[in-house]
Amino acid sequence: MFCKIEPTFFQIYQKEIIATIIAVCVFIIIRMVANSVVRGFGRKTHFSPARTNLVMKYFDYLISILGIISLFTIWGVKSEQAFIFVSSILTVIGVAFFAQWSILSNITAGIILFFSFPFRIGDRIRLMDKDFPIEAEIMDIESFYTYLRTSDGEEICFPNNLLLQKGIVIIKNKSKVEDEFTD
């Protein structure tokens, strides 16, 4: 009467465990390279560290999603099961974002402002709003809001999605105007 030895978890799933470790290492390296590229782009274009960190966070989310999909593949999760799981999660997220559509539109507007940069931190702008015209200097551009300071010293948090919807006049600073006339 021989005693039958059951294989351990590691013995059964040895290939999957090794592949998971390799995949995690690869995605960590990809994340580090992507963050380095974004940081370099932010320095070249003189963006604030807050804006650069925001874009790095978005890339981290994207890389994490790709990593999860890779792990599903490694562990043999059937596509039907993964589709049901992901669609359930996306449904819940979609309902939450629909209820808070302004959050999603502000994040999207923040990304657009980061990459298209129609104006920069330090620029003086005039928002073309018939009810509440604003003339102020851009202090910082973050994921949800752009921070403005008027000549009276008022600090305004203006939603990014409204910056894309309103007409904006970029006013040159006196020092920039003087530099143009001296050249």
- In a domain, residue 111? The reply is no
Query: How many folded domains does the chain comprise?
Result: 2
Residue numbers of the domain that contains 83 = 12-99
Tell me how far apart the alpha carbons of residues 106 and 143 are, in angstroms, rounded to a whole number.
7
For residues 133 and 81, state if they share a domain. Answer: no
For residues 26 and 75, state if they share a domain. Answer: yes
Residues of the chain with pLDDT under 70: 1-3, 95-102, 117, 172-183
Q: What mean pLDDT is reported for the chain?
A: 82
pLDDT digits (tens, 9 = 90+) for 77-126: 887 777 787 788 878 777 666 656 667 777 778 777 777 767 878 889 99
For residues 68 and 25, state if they share a domain. Answer: yes
Q: What is the CATH number for 142?
A: 2.30.30.60
For residues 84 and 144, state if they share a domain. Answer: no
